[in-house]
Structure 1
Amino acid sequence: MLYKEINIGQFIKERVDELEITMERMCNFLKKDEEFIEKVFTSKSIDTDLLLRWSKLLEYDFFRLYSSHLILYSPPSAINKNNNPKSEKIPYFRKNIYTQEIKEFIIKRIQSGEMTQSEVIKEYSIPKSTLHRWLQKNDTN
């Protein structure tokens, strides 16, 4: 399960390897030493300011991994969604913004028989019409 357990250091290391970024460039950009960089690669979590800098350096939105986790694994709200007050001081984001990876993950679960369409709709609060659209697009590809 790609988003269930997030080891951010491992994802950062894989992206560094893909882009073949040199240690010198990472140290200069992050203003850290090699020992610190190596420690990040083995870290399960890191500070958000540091993650933002890694995202810029590696041109990859690492925060999306966490957003995907929330979409797939957060429990349904016990309070009626229409009664949830929206903060005026912090930005409000709709939960149902689905990345291509999430769409593929859900379609794969249906096609493998792991979940039915009804179970997906109930578990992930995906509108029925949205799920059907994904499945139709997948069938044409």
Structure 2
Amino acid sequence: MNLKKIHIGEFIEHRMKELQIPYERAEKFLKCSEEEIKMIYKQSSIDTYLLLRWSKLLEYDFFRLFSGHLILYAPSRNVSPVLSDENKLPVFRKHIYTEEVKSFILEKITTGQMTPQEVILTYKIPKTTLYKWIKKV
């Protein structure tokens, strides 16, 4: 699974086919037509509320695809774990590594594409975390 470039419509279409959900059910749940659903399949991004509805219908957390992308490709920066008056958003102290992210990283190492040290430097994964993953394999 490539998390570098996410085309959410393709992921939704794949999951619909995987679960063999009929268009009628999706139309009723999402309150849209079959043509609108087919248009969503072609879109690389969609409204977050609509993505939430798709996640519920297809019983899959599509938001984790984007979280995985952030973990792998967004530059990390040290932030204060305390909420300030200016910042009302919660600050997460730890990364949540999904199984997909772990598999992606471990595949890079086992196929010889990257060394553990290269993974640590490229993706900013803590050394102890990476070696725990490797030990479990």
State, as a whole percentage, how many aligned pairs show the same letter.
55
Tell whether the 8 Å contact from 2:23 to 2:34 is kept in structure 1 after alignment.
Answer: yes
**Alpha-carbon separation, structure 2, partners of 1:127 and 1:76:** 12
TM-score by length of 2: 0.90
Q: Deviations over 1:19-65 (max 9, x none)?
A: 11111111110011111111001111100010000000000000000
**Alpha-carbon separation, structure 1, partners of 2:8 and 2:18:** 15
What residue in structure 2 maps to residue 110 of structure 1?
109
Tell whether the 8 Å contact from 2:80 to 2:91 is kept in structure 1 after alignment.
Answer: no
**Alpha-carbon separation, structure 1, partners of 2:7 and 2:56:** 19
Matches within 5 A, 1:18-57: 18-57=18-57
AA at the equivalent of 2:70 = L
**Alpha-carbon separation, structure 1, partners of 2:80 and 2:53:** 37
TM-score by length of 1: 0.87
Tell whether the 8 Å contact from 1:71 to 1:95 is kept in structure 2 after alignment.
Answer: no
Matches within 5 A, 1:13-92: 13-77=13-77, 81-82=78-79, 86=83, 88-92=87-91
Tell whether the 8 Å contact from 1:27 to 1:33 is kept in structure 2 after alignment.
Answer: yes
Note closer, same or farther for the CA distance 1:60–1:83 as it changes in structure 2 (3 Å cut).
closer
| C-alpha deviation, 1:82, in angstroms | 4.8
Helix, strand or coil at the partner of 2:97: coil
The root-mean-square deviation of aligned C-alpha atoms, in Å, is 1.8
- Unpaired runs of 5+ residues, structure 1, are none
| C-alpha deviation, 1:127, in angstroms | 1.5
Tell whether the 8 Å contact from 1:6 to 1:44 is kept in structure 2 after alignment.
Answer: yes
**Alpha-carbon separation, structure 1, partners of 2:25 and 2:43:** 20
- Unpaired runs of 5+ residues, structure 2, are none
**Alpha-carbon separation, structure 1, partners of 2:29 and 2:131:** 45
| C-alpha deviation, 1:113, in angstroms | 1.8
